[in-house]
Structure 1
Amino acid sequence: MKHLTDPELLILLREDDEWAFREIYERYWKILYQQALKKLATTEEVRDIIQEIFFSLWKSRHSILLRETLLQYLYTSLRYKIIDYYRLRTVRSKYYDSILQEEEHLSPEVSEELQYRQLNTLVEEEIRQMPAKMKEVFVLSRDYNLNAVQIAQKLSLSHQTVRNQISTALKRIRKRLDRSL
């Protein structure tokens, strides 16, 4: 397809054209990525925010009205996402500080129970967000104590697929816990 202008791409985007969305993404993700790297500490944070920006663009494609260029709109979105990120981080930090202060007044057993519950909640949230097949494999493995061979037979999957799903699920959980602690 020929090189389209941003307004032309937006018209196609409003018509649910996935090619137009990919074209916008390919055109602007590196620019946004480089800008976000100046404001955020890790590339993971940058990738998450860039993904959120383009996800929001896709979600609002039918109602988006630009008073500026598409790049300016994306820069503005980036700025607000970064502000939200730091605002949330500040709130989270205050929340953890208050929990730590409360824990100082608790007995060691109660404190450990509270920590266990918090970790368990994080793990459960991550499991809920997993793709359906990964979640099913992981739950069969952990909650029903089935081994990879049993799960593979039960779900008609290869043994290696089951092992890969469990490994990926564990990596997701570790990543979630690392981010939250």
Structure 2
Amino acid sequence: MSTTSPHTAFSDPQAFKQVYTRHWKQVYAVCYSHLKEVDTAQEMVQDIFLSLWERRQTLVITTSLEHYLVRAAKMKVLEHFRNQTIRSNYVPDVPVATEATEREIEYNSLHENLERLLGQQPDQSRQVFSLRQQGMSNREIASKLGFSEKAVEYHVTRVLRFLRERLHLVLDR
């Protein structure tokens, strides 16, 4: 089908649908054979036929329609690989930065919840736990606050049990 005027197979929706039905598998096969990615190959087929439809009034095909579509598929694959190369060369840190940002957000959220929950504890328990977080031993805390080591153990155990129960509820939301 060689022509120098707009392609007549694209003039109405029914004719276009027939072209699509007849040729989409071949276009998909070309895309998939190079990519081995089902979703990307399907998107490419849609893009190619959408482009045909959008340019139907002005498109001039000087080869067979089949040859034109295979060539369009190959060009789409090349474009995909070119875009991937550009992205990997110029934006290599985006996924890492995104992961780091997500981890930072999660950390900040967890830290806020921890502080809020610690605020619900009695002053002595909060004070003991704070010193423990600073790396002091039970003996050092007991000496500093004038408590027995058993009392320090009690406060630490109490706070840890409370946090374990409450953080579990907060994180499951």
- Give the alignment's TM-score, normalised by structure 1: 0.48
**Residues 10 and 20, structure 1, Cα contact 8 Å, conserved in 2:** no
Identify the residue that residue 112 of structure 1 maps to in structure 2.
101
**Residues 33 and 46, structure 1, Cα contact 8 Å, conserved in 2:** yes
Q: 1:58 aligns with which of 53, 72, 91?
A: 53
Q: Secondary structure at the match of 2:35?
A: coil
The answer as to 2:19 corresponding to 1:27 is no
Identify the residue that residue 134 of structure 2 maps to in structure 1.
none
Deviation for aligned residue 1:44: 0.4
The answer as to 2:7 corresponding to 1:10 is yes
2:7 alignment partner AA? L
The answer as to 2:71 corresponding to 1:82 is no
Unmatched segments (≥5 aa) in structure 2:
106-173
- What is the alpha-carbon distance in structure 1 between the residues aligned to residue 61 and residue 24 of structure 2? 18
Q: Which fold has the larger relative contact order, with Cα–Cα distance below 8 Å and residues 6 or more apart in sequence?
A: 2
Identify the residue that residue 87 of structure 2 maps to in structure 1.
92
Deviation for aligned residue 1:45: 0.8
Bigger radius of gyration, 1 or 2? Answer: 2
* Per-residue deviation, residues 94-113 of structure 1 (Å, max 9, x unmatched): 23314479x5xxxxxxx527
Deviation for aligned residue 1:36: 1.6
CA pair 59-36 structure 1, distance change in 2 beyond 3 A:
same
**Residues 53 and 77, structure 1, Cα contact 8 Å, conserved in 2:** yes
CA pair 18-6 structure 1, distance change in 2 beyond 3 A:
farther
- What is the alpha-carbon distance in structure 2 between the residues aligned to residue 21 and residue 6 of structure 1? 17
* Per-residue deviation, residues 120-170 of structure 1 (Å, max 9, x unmatched): xxxxxxxxxxxxxxxxxxxxxxxxxxxxxxxxxxxxxxxxxxxxxxxxxxx
The answer as to 2:40 corresponding to 1:45 is yes
Identify the residue that residue 123 of structure 1 maps to in structure 2.
none
Moved over 6 A (4+): none
- What is the alpha-carbon distance in structure 1 between the residues aligned to residue 33 and residue 74 of structure 2? 12
- What is the alpha-carbon distance in structure 1 between the residues aligned to residue 41 and residue 53 of structure 2? 19
Q: Map 1:108-147; keep pairs closer than 5 Å.
A: 112=101
CA pair 61-100 structure 1, distance change in 2 beyond 3 A:
closer
Q: Secondary structure at the match of 1:94?
A: helix
Q: Secondary structure at the match of 1:39?
A: helix
> How many residues are treated as equivalent by the alignment?
102
Q: How well do the aligned residues superpose, as a CA RMSD in angstroms?
A: 3.0
Q: Secondary structure at the match of 1:63?
A: coil
- What is the alpha-carbon distance in structure 2 between the residues aligned to residue 97 and residue 35 of structure 1? 29
Unmatched segments (≥5 aa) in structure 1:
104-110, 117-181
2:23 alignment partner AA? Y
CA pair 69-12 structure 1, distance change in 2 beyond 3 A:
closer
- Give the alignment's TM-score, normalised by structure 2: 0.50
- What is the alpha-carbon distance in structure 1 between the residues aligned to residue 16 and residue 95 of structure 2? 45
* Per-residue deviation, residues 39-64 of structure 1 (Å, max 9, x unmatched): 01211011000000000000110111
